[in-house]
């Protein structure tokens, strides 16, 4: 049992970590632009709870986080800050949880070290400010591991070597420990599908080590499995059978040696620029030396706890790699964040095995390196996970004119752009999409691209702004088409995955515009007119588009006496004058 | 269980999953195929050097996994079989107190029918204490056979006793001067000779001074792997060989091959080969029944390693086991795999040279990214390391691996000596491992390692100036650091203690000033 002074010291250290982490997140990360994933979350939780369930089910997600965020927004508003605050709270709660788990496995000091590297971890910090379920998933993973370890420790039938305060826990409140294990497992599988990997790994561990446990443990595991299946079945039925959500997870990929290395280095050094990442990854023989020294450094067996941590690192990673290669792409850094706590605990174990001075030196160096990496990740414009839709939208608002069109590619990134953009140019997507159902996104092909561009050109637009991000493997083809056929007049990368290009579609672009004002009692009517006036099919098939457009859309449908201002692109100021005179409107 | 008790037990308490071994072999083959046939090749000469190493590692992995595939074999044993045994304690100038302890322990063995002889080689090896040994034998009332005609080193000493002892017993036990037998040594070994084909029984060589210092500890950890899982595995294929001490032999089998071989400085393994060739059996008793002394200083360690390496490599090149008709294929493989370990030196040298070559020339064996290389190398090396750890029951440590790697120059020297002796037909001289710590400055033993560090530093600057800080340069610098990291325990042992104390003192003063 710890002394009160020790408890106070631990409390103060944890409090310091929480304050530092909270401050860092709010000051350095909360001001980042909304990212695609976050905009999808905001879009999904803006509906009613019933609608959220349906949307999430069809979107290869599970609903716990979305429902929590929905009710959270009901209290604190649906702004980006408030929404990110929820993720931050989950992260800050994870810090003491990490300490408790680390203490259980390796003792108090190691628990504090585990909590410290968890706190300064760039990857964890990044997800602490993201409007997604990842920080919740990490919290639940830590708690679930804690109760799983306590559960099997209560059922050891041999004198298995362990560390930490093992003896004091034996045979105490086994049922409540199991109940908490079950609850955290349930919460986990309703937070993210991939939490199943944690549960499966724990079961694999139990199976392989079954001889060291009494039968009660296997019964506990079996009953947990049964209850999880029962609880999960209705959702799985809804999601896969009713909603037909068989699609691949968004942002996943087939793993390569590079992506696997990046995943592992990301846990320690976060998301860094290409140069820094390449440098860090190239140091892998040194990492191999550290682990080699670790493996061979101590004449002691690997404890059950450490073995479990190794399982939790290797098994989910292997499953994701194998499934991605053999079946469907599932591999994504963000999903693997659930193995991050195991990585930090293994690092902590590694240092506990090293000799004193070397351990202390490397411990301090690691904290410093991770802190520097976190800061660089937050401030560097080259951080690959940054998606600066905000700056891109501000730029478009300022420079895209009504006679221009903005094409978003991939189409799904329309969400974050729409969140920020309120300019006068029309927003469209390549390939075409109505912005509602992902299933309705048109498949990309060279033919569909040519058709789409032809339609845009026929509509009389002067320039096309192409905002590319989240490459769906056709970005290169798309840009090559424009580069080969049109003059590029602007190009800028707002963040590593968000780029903006401007191409000139026509050279007879108007010097002037005719101004017709619609006398409206409400803004919405005025906006309607404006939107229509930017022209769609009506102008595409006429020789004299402006005149026809006005005839068809304005004069025949709207009481001319109410027209005050309509912004119409024209090819010629004379035509505009003619229209105005014909229409008996004053300029 | 105390730490020492644990040390005597742990290295033998092995549980290796066959699945793990199979996975290791598959990984090694897959790694080799990728390297040899799949990856696009770079410089053909460097590729060739790397492939030499790869073939060796593949061979080592396969033979190691084959050896330890099953370790449960037990030979027939009958504790009631208690024939007369002659106990030979070989002495060649070892300190009197060490010999006394061994003789007294031998006298206390619980066995009804045995005689003890000190085989005193002090006279022929010109040791000062040879008369004291004779006096000791008288005092302790044991036999003493002092050789007057030199030749054959330790093997010659034993052969001399075999023919000169009066009323020879059918079985002979051999202990080195420092190996103190347990009381039950004979009780737990002689019973195996109930099998009339059993030629010799070997037990582990435990070092009771393993906690003395880094050298003794490392020596034991290296021994532990061999006397643990490897010898247990060799039991299955009837290819356990004699290890010079802590063994019992059937005189008839030994005499059939003309006694212990005097041509080779590791007479034990070569004699075992000849005995097995005649169709005799051998067995290994996986229990510590005698405790000896490890070399206590780096010089003694290096000399011992050199002797073993030279003997092993001589067996390989002079007495090619493949040509021995009386051996089974399993035995041939075992007699090649164990001595071929000593080719490790040249392989370490080649592997350590590759990053240095890259840094100086920019030439690499493959045209692949560093990550592709890592993706295949890391799983393979860690699986191999894990198998090593598991199969040694966590007794094989970093420093043991580090000393093995760092001994590369010793093994290379032994290899060249053997190759030279093939031409000149010159015999190697036997030198007994010192039983007392030899003090002195052994920094020269680490000269190759210091040279490697200097080359790495120079290569780093050459590469930086040529390529900049590219991933290729960073990875190869990391490789040199990996190798240096593996040399550090050896270098630290080679540096005189007073130099280390001096540095510590300086640091302390610095701290005090602050």
Determine the average pLDDT of the residues in A430-434. Answer: 88
Give per-residue pLDDT as tens, A296-345: 665 555 788 888 998 999 999 989 888 888 887 778 888 889 999 999 99
- The span from the CA of B101 to the CA of B290, in Å, is 12
**pLDDT band per the 50, 70, 90 thresholds, residue A537:** very low
Place A515 in a pLDDT band, splitting at 50, 70 and 90.
very low
Given the structure tokens 């009710």, which residue do they identify?
A71
Answer whether B397 sits within 8 Å of A298, measured CB to CB.
yes
The answer to whether A296 contacts B372, with C-beta atoms less than 8 Å apart, is: no
SS3 B144: strand
How would you label A126-140 residue by residue, b for 16+ Cβ within 10 Å and e otherwise? Answer: bbbbbbbbbbbbbbb
For B251-348, list the strands marked E by DSSP. Answer: 281-284, 290-292
| Residues in chain A closer than 8 A to B10 (CB atoms) | 299
Condensed to tens digits (0 to 9), the pLDDT of residues A265-293 reads 888 899 988 888 888 888 888 887 877 77
Nearest CA in chain B to A294: B398
**Beta strand ranges found along B171-314 (DSSP E):** 171-176, 180-181, 198-202, 206-207, 247-250, 281-284, 290-292
Task: Determine the Cα angle at A300 with ends A297 and A304, to 5°.
Answer: 120
pTM score, two decimals? 0.76
Please name the residue of chain B whose CA is at the shortest distance from the CA of residue A289: B482
User: A97 phi and psi, to 5 degrees?
Assistant: -60, -40
For A64-120, where are the alpha helices, taking DSSP H only? Answer: 64-76, 80-106, 108-120
Sorting pLDDT into bands at 50, 70 and 90, what band is B506? low
Q: Do A284 and B378 touch (CB under 8 A)?
A: yes
DSSP state of B203: -
Interface test with B, best of A204, A285, A325 (most B CBs within 10 A): A285
Gap between the Cα atoms of B233 and B337, Å rounded = 13
Tell me what pLDDT residue A585 has.
Answer: 42
Chain A: closest CA distance from residue B88 (Å): 35
* Rounded-to-integer distance, Cα A59 and Cα A438, Å: 9
For chain B, give the percent of residues with pLDDT over 90. 58
Nearest Cα residue in chain B from A265: B371
Q: Do B394 and A298 touch (CB under 8 A)?
A: yes
In whole angstroms, how far apart are CA B160 and each of A118, B127, B151? 70, 18, 10
| Gap from A262 CA to chain B (nearest CA, Å) | 9
Q: Which residues of B touch A291 (CB under 8 A)?
A: 382
At residue B435, the pLDDT reads 58
Q: What is the pLDDT of residues B164-197, one digit of tens each?
A: 888 999 999 999 999 999 999 999 999 999 999 9
Contact by Cβ (8 Å): A69, A41: yes
Nearest chain A Cα to B398, which residue? A296
pLDDT of residue A390: 94
CB contact under 8 A, A281 and B371: yes
Asked if residue B76 has pLDDT above 80, the reply is yes
pLDDT digits (tens, 9 = 90+) for B212-270: 888 898 998 888 889 999 999 999 999 999 998 999 999 999 999 998 988 877 788 99
Residue A587 has pLDDT above 80, yes or no: no
For chain A, the residues whose C-beta falls within 8 A of a C-beta of chain B are 257-258, 260-261, 278-279, 281-286, 288-289, 291-293, 295-302
3-state helix/strand/coil string of A238-259: HHHHHCCCCCCCCCCECCCHHH
Q: Is A185 helix (H, G, I), strand (E, B) or coil?
A: helix
Question: Which contacts of B131-136 are long-range, i.e. CB under 8 A and separated by 24 or more positions?
Answer: B132/B96, B133/B91, B133/B96, B133/B99, B136/B96, B136/B99, B136/B100, B136/B103
Q: What is the pLDDT of residues B342-382, one digit of tens each?
A: 999 999 999 999 999 999 999 999 988 877 888 888 888 88
Least CB–CB distance from A258: residue in B371, B401, B482: B371
Under the banding of pLDDT at 50, 70 and 90, the label for residue A7 is confident
What percent of chain A stands above pLDDT 70? 80
Distance from CA of B237 to the nearest CA of A (A): 29
pLDDT at B499: 62
Residues of B in contact with A282 (CB under 8 A): 370, 471-472, 474-475, 478
- Answer whether A284 sits within 8 Å of B481, measured CB to CB: no
Instruction: Determine the Cα–Cα distance for residues B50 and B146; give it in Å rounded to an integer.
Output: 52
CB atoms within 10 A of CB A12: 10
Contacts of B7 in chain A (CB under 8 A): 299
Strands B180-181 and B171-176, by their bridges, are unpaired
Residue in B372, B386, B396 closest to A257 by CB: B372
Interface residues of B toward A, Cβ cutoff 8 Å, are: 7, 10, 369-372, 374-378, 381-382, 385-386, 388-389, 393-401, 469, 471-472, 474-475, 478-479, 481-482, 485-486
Sorting pLDDT into bands at 50, 70 and 90, what band is A162? very low
The whole-number pLDDT of residue B268 equals 87
Q: Do B394 and A299 touch (CB under 8 A)?
A: yes
Q: pLDDT tens digits, residue range A453-462?
A: 988 888 888 8
Mean pLDDT computed over A176-198: 94
CB-nearest partner of B482 from A261, A285, A300: A285
Is B478 within 8 Å of A298 when comparing Cβ atoms?
A: no
Which chain A residues are closer than 8 Å to B372 by Cβ? 257-258
Q: Reply yes or no on whether the pLDDT at A205 is more than 50.
A: yes
Which residue among A257, A284, A296 places its CB closest to the CB of B475?
A284
Across the interface, whether the CB atoms of B375 and A261 are under 8 A apart is answered yes
Q: What pLDDT is stored for residue A352 in this prediction?
A: 77
Q: Which 8-state DSSP code applies to residue A439? A: G
Residues of B in contact with A286 (CB under 8 A): 478, 481-482
Closest Cβ–Cβ partner in A258, A286, A300 for B482: A286
Is a pLDDT exceeding 60 seen at residue B430? Answer: no
Quick one: pLDDT band at residue A35, thresholds 50, 70, 90? very high
Alpha-carbon distance A355 to nearest alpha carbon in chain B (angstroms): 12
To the nearest whole percent, how much of chain A has pLDDT over 90? Answer: 45
Nearest to A299 among B376, B395, B481 (CB): B395
Average pLDDT score over residue span A337-357: 85
pLDDT, mean of residues B127-142? 90
**Average of per-residue pLDDT across A162-168:** 44
pLDDT (tens digit, 9 = 90+) per residue, A96-125? 999 999 999 988 999 999 999 999 999 999
CA A29, CA A39: separation in Å to the nearest integer?
16
Is the pLDDT at B22 greater than 80? The verdict is yes
Among candidates A424, A558, A577, A460, which has minimal Cα distance to A513?
Answer: A577
Burial of B108 (0-12, 13-18, 19+ CB in 10 A): exposed
A429 min Cα distance to partner chain B (Å): 36
Tell me the count of A-B CB pairs closer than 8 A.
Answer: 89
Tell me the pLDDT of chain A averaged across its residues: 81
Query: Can you tell me whether residue B247 is helix, strand or coil?
Result: strand
Angle subtended by helix axes A284-295 and B370-391, to nearest 10: 10
Instruction: For an interface test with A, give the residue of B482, B488, B508 to mutate (most A CBs within 10 A).
Output: B482
- Digit-coded pLDDT (tens) for A358-410: 778 889 999 999 999 999 999 998 888 899 999 999 999 999 988 899 999 98
From A289, A295, A297, residue closest to B482, measured CB to CB:
A289
CA distances from B27 to A256, B21, B36, B57, B446 (A): 18, 10, 14, 12, 34
Q: Is the pLDDT of residue A494 over 50?
A: yes
Average pLDDT score, chain B: 88
pLDDT at B211: 85
Pick A118 or A544 by higher pLDDT.
A118
Nearest CA in chain B to A258: B371
Q: What is the pLDDT of residue A552?
A: 56
Whether residue B396 and residue A296 make contact (CB cut-off 8 A), yes or no, is yes
**CB nearest to A285's CB, from B372, B395, B478:** B478
Between A144 and B7, where is the model more confident? A144
Q: CB distance A296–B389 less than 8 Å?
A: yes
| Contact by Cβ (8 Å): B234, B70 | no
pLDDT at A304 (0 to 100): 86
From the candidates B370, B460, B511, which should be mutated to test the interface with A, based on the most A CB atoms within 10 A?
B370
pLDDT at A257: 74
Contact B374 A261 (CB under 8 A): yes
Query: Is A564's pLDDT higher than 70?
Result: no
Best B16, B221, B371, B492 residue to mutate vs chain A (most A CBs within 10 Å): B371
Q: What Å distances lie between residue A258 and A116, A262, B101, CA to CA? A: 28, 6, 61
- Predicted confidence (pLDDT) at residue A555 exceeds the cutoff of 80: no
Q: Assign 3-state DSSP to chain A and report helix, strand, coil percentages, each to 5.
A: 65, 5, 30
Q: How confident is the model at residue A579 (pLDDT cuts 50, 70, 90)?
A: low
* Alpha-carbon gap: A134 to the closest alpha carbon of chain B (Å): 27
- Chain A CB contacts of B394 below 8 Å: 298-302
- Count how many residues are written for chain B: 514
Question: What's the gap in Å between the CA of B481 and the closest CA on chain A?
Answer: 7
A354 alpha-carbon distance from chain centroid: 36
Residue A297: which of B393, B398, B472 has the nearest Cβ?
B398
């Amino acid at each position: 049992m710890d002394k009160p002074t020790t408890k106070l010291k631990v409390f103060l250290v944890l409090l310091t970590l929480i304050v530092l982490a909270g401050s860092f997140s709010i000051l350095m990360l909360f001001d980042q632009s909304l990212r695609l994933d976050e905009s999808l979350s905001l879009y999904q939780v803006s509906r009613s709870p019933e609608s959220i369930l349906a949307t999430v089910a069809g979107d290869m997600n599970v609903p716990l986080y979305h429902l929590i965020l929905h009710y959270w927004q009901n209290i604190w508003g649906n702004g980006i800050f408030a929404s990110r605050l929820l993720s931050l709270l989950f992260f800050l709660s994870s810090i003491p949880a990490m300490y408790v788990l680390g203490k259980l496995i390796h003792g108090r000091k190691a628990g504090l070290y585990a909590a410290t590297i968890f706190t300064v971890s760039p990857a964890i910090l990044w997800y602490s400010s993201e409007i997604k379920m990842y920080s919740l998933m990490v919290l639940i993973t830590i708690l679930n591991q804690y109760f799983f370890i306590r559960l099997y420790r209560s059922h050891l039938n041999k004198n298995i070597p362990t560390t930490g305060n093992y003896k004091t826990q034996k045979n105490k409140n086994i049922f409540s420990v199991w109940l908490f294990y079950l609850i955290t497992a349930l919460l986990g599988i309703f937070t993210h599908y991939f939490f199943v990997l944690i549960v499966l790994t724990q079961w694999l561990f139990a199976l392989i080590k079954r001889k060291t446990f009494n039968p009660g443990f296997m019964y506990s595991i079996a009953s947990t499995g049964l209850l999880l299946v029962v609880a999960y079945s209705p959702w799985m039925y809804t999601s896969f059978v009713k909603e037909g959500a068989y699609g691949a997870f968004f942002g996943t990929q087939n793993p390569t040696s590079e992506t696997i290395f990046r995943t592992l280095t990301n846990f320690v050094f976060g998301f860094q620029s290409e140069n820094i990442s390449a440098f860090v990854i190239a140091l892998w023989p040194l990492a191999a030396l550290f682990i080699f020294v670790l493996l061979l450094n101590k004449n002691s067996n690997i404890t059950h706890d450490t073995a479990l941590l190794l399982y939790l690192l290797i098994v989910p990673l292997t499953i994701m790699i194998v499934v991605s290669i053999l079946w469907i792409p599932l591999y994504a850094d963000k999903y693997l964040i659930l193995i991050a706590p195991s990585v930090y605990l293994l690092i902590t174990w590694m240092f506990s095995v090293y000799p004193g001075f070397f351990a202390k030196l490397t411990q301090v160096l690691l904290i410093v390196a991770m802190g520097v990496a976190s800061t660089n990740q937050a401030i560097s414009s080259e951080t690959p996970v940054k998606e600066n839709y905000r700056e891109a939208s501000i730029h478009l608002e300022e420079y895209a004119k009504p006679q221009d069109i903005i094409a978003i590619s991939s189409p799904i990134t329309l969400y974050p752009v729409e969140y920020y953009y309120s300019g006068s140019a029309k927003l469209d997507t390549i390939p075409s999409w109505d912005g509602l159902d992902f299933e309705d996104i048109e498949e990309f092909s060279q033919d569909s691209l040519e058709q789409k561009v032809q339609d845009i050109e026929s509509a009389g637009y002067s320039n096309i702004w192409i905002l590319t991000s989240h490459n769906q493997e056709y970005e290169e083809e798309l840009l090559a088409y424009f580069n080969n056929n049109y003059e590029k007049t602007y190009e800028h990368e707002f963040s590593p995955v968000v780029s903006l290009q401007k191409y000139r579609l026509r050279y007879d672009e108007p010097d002037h515009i005719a101004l017709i004002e619609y006398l409206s009692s409400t803004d919405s009517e005025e906006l309607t007119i404006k939107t229509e006036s930017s022209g769609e099919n009506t102008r595409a098939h006429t020789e004299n588009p402006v005149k026809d457009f006005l005839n068809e859309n304005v004069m025949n449908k709207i009481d001319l006496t109410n027209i005050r201002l309509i912004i119409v692109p024209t090819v010629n100021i004379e035509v505009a004058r003619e229209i105005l005179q014909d229409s008996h409107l004053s300029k | 269980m105390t730490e020492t008790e644990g040390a005597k037990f742990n290295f033998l308490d092995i549980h290796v999953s066959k699945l793990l071994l199979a996975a290791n072999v598959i990984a090694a083959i897959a790694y080799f195929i990728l390297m040899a046939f799949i990856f696009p090749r770079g410089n053909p000469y460097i590729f060739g050097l790397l492939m030499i190493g790869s073939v060796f590692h593949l061979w080592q992995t396969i033979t190691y996994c084959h050896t330890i595939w099953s370790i449960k074999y037990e030979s027939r044993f009958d504790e009631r079989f208690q024939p007369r045994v002659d106990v030979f304690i070989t002495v060649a100038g070892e300190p009197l107190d060490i010999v006394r302890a061994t003789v007294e322990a031998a006298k206390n063995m619980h066995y009804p029918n045995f005689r003890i002889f000190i085989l005193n080689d002090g006279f022929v090896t010109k040791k000062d204490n040879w008369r004291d040994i004779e006096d000791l034998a008288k005092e302790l009332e044991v036999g003493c056979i002092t050789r007057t005609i030199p030749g054959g080193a330790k093997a010659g000493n034993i052969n001399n006793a075999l023919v000169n002892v009066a009323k020879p017993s059918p079985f002979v036990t051999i202990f080195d001067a420092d190996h103190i037998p347990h009381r039950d040594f004979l009780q737990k070994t002689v019973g195996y000779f109930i099998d009339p084909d059993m030629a010799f029984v070997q037990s582990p060589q435990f070092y009771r001074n393993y906690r003395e210092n880094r050298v003794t500890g490392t020596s034991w950890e290296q021994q532990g792997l061999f006397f643990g899982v490897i010898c247990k595995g060799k039991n299955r294929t009837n290819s356990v060989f004699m290890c010079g001490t802590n063994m019992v032999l059937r005189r008839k089998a030994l005499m059939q091959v003309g006694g212990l071989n005097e041509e080779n400085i590791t007479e034990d393994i070569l004699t075992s080969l000849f005995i097995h060739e005649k169709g005799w059996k051998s067995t290994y008793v996986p229990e510590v029944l005698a405790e000896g002394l490890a070399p206590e200083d780096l010089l003694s360690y290096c000399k011992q390693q050199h002797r073993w390496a030279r003997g092993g490599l001589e067996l390989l090149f002079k007495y090619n086991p493949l040509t021995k008709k009386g051996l089974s294929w399993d035995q041939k493989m075992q007699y090649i795999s164990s001595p071929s370990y000593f080719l490790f030196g040249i392989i370490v040298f080649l592997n350590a040279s590759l990053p240095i070559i890259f840094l100086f020339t920019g030439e690499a064996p493959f045209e692949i990214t560093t990550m592709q290389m890592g993706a295949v190398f890391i799983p393979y090396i860690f699986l191999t390391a894990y198998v090593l750890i598991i199969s040694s029951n966590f007794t094989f440590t970093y420093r043991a691996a580090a000393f093995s790697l760092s001994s590369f120059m010793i093994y290379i020297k032994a290899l060249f000596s053997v190759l030279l002796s093939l031409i000149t037909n010159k015999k190697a001289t036997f030198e007994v491992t010192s039983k007392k710590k030899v003090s002195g400055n052994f920094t020269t033993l680490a000269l190759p390692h210091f040279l490697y560090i200097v080359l790495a530093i120079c290569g780093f600057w050459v590469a930086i100036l040529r390529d900049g800080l590219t991933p290729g340069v960073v990875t190869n610098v990391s490789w040199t650091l990996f190798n240096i990291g593996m040399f550090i325990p050896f270098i630290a042992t080679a540096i005189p203690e007073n130099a280390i104390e001096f540095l510590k003192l300086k640091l302390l003063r610095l701290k005090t000033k602050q």
